[in-house]
Amino acid sequence: MKVVVTNDHRGVRTSEQILAILAQLNHECLDLTNKEDQAVDYPDSAYEAGKAVSTGKADRAILICGTGIGMCIAANKVKGVRAAVCFDELSAKVSRQHNDTNVLCLSGDLLGPSLFRKIVEVWLSTEFEGGRHQRRVRKIQAIEEGKDPREVVNG
């Protein structure tokens, strides 16, 4: 799987570790990380990574900022992106099973190396369940297209 990784200034160390984890798991990386501790505007990084996913240059993306929240908000503005902030293995698993997330947002400040490793492993290995969840993902896609999601009846 091709995974794009990016970060702001508060995710520098975490992004280095994420890149190493992805290499150990034999995933191809598109490294868009910021290597400096100097201020970086997270919307710029989130947009670039989100576009890589939405255009098919990458299958998924992992974004790191201080809390993961800012990156998540910005990434979700890119059409075709379904981003989630995950703070544990369960949220990572459910975000994939139920929401078919293609962007994982992590906190560079609040998570330790063993926890974000587990989150990344679970998120990358969990498949989308489809079924009733497919209808809901289609409703999200309808919203992106400016349509009323209530008009989507079948999955």
Residues comprising the chain, all counted: 155
Considering 29, 65, 86, 105, which one is annotated as catalytic?
65
Buried b (16+ CB within 10 A) or exposed e, 7-39: bbbbbbebbeebbebbeeeebebbebbbeeeee
C-alpha span between 76 and 103 (Å, rounded) = 9
- Catalytic (active site) residue 105: no
The C-alpha atoms of residue 71 and residue 62 are separated, in whole angstroms, by 10
Q: Is 65 an annotated catalytic residue?
A: yes
In the block, which residue shows the tokens 């293995």? 89
Catalytic residue among 9, 27, 72, 98: 98
Q: Which residues are catalytic?
A: 65, 98
